[in-house]
């Protein structure tokens, strides 16, 4: 019997770019997002420090399509999923790898959108502020990943 293990990630942060939606050759939707999270602390001298981490987020199927419709750069979201590391050979022949968070749930945390001057605009009427239930991303074969 295999030992029990856990691979769960929960993040709250802001999108660093607009979502990018693509489809595999089999027609499965996949959306990639950039998410920034911040951590702050005070050092012994009393000086406040801050560090930003950047995460690659991947959504599949219906959640991928919803992310591409509802999300935009700067949007604050909560995501829940699992870590996955992919390996591939680059065009130059070098071995590459990337660790990403494959999400299964997403909650939009802000209700307002800002225009180019920083003024708040009403959120589109079709936006949701509740968890979005989707099919499990683990049902998608690794060979279907288009990147």
Q: What is the pLDDT of residues 91-100, one digit of tens each?
A: 999 999 999 9
Asked whether 14 and 26 are in contact (CB, 8 A), the reply is no
Q: What is the CATH number of the domain that holds 34?
A: 2.40.50.140
Q: Is residue 144 part of a domain?
A: no
Q: Is residue 1 part of a domain?
A: no
Q: Is residue 65 part of a domain?
A: yes
Q: Which two tokens stand for residue 134?
A: 């989707």
What is the structure's pLDDT at 134?
A: 43
Q: Is residue 27 part of a domain?
A: yes
pLDDT digits (tens, 9 = 90+) for 35-78: 999 999 999 999 999 999 999 999 999 999 999 999 999 999 99
Question: Could you tell me if residue 89 is left (phi over 0), alpha (psi between -120 and 50 degrees) or otherwise beta?
Answer: beta
Q: What angle do CA 89, 94, 95 make, to 5 degrees?
A: 55
Domain interval for residue 110: 9-41+48-136
Pure H helices in 1-147: 61-70
Q: Is residue 116 part of a domain?
A: yes
The total number of structural domains in the chain stands at: 1
More confident residue, 101 or 143: 101
Q: Is residue 147 part of a domain?
A: no
pLDDT digits (tens, 9 = 90+) for 11-37: 999 999 999 999 999 999 999 999 999
Q: Is residue 2 part of a domain?
A: no
């Amino acid at each position: 019997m295999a030992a029990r293990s856990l691979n769960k990630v929960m993040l709250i942060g802001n999108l660093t770019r607009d979502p990018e939606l693509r489809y595999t050759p089999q027609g499965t939707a996949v959306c990639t997002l950039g998410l920034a999270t911040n951590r702050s602390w005070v050092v012994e001298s009393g000086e406040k420090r801050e560090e930003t981490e950047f995460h690659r987020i991947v959504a599949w199927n219906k959640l991928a399509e919803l992310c591409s419709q509802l999300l935009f750069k700067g949007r604050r979201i909560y995501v829940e999923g699992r870590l996955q590391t992919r390996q591939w050979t680059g065009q130059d022949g070098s071995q590459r790898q990337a660790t990403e968070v494959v999400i299964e749930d997403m909650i939009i945390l802000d209700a307002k959108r800002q225009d180019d001057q920083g003024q708040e605009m009403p959120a589109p009427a079709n936006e949701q502020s509740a968890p979005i239930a989707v099919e499990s991303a683990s049902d998608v074969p690794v060979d279907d990943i288009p990147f």
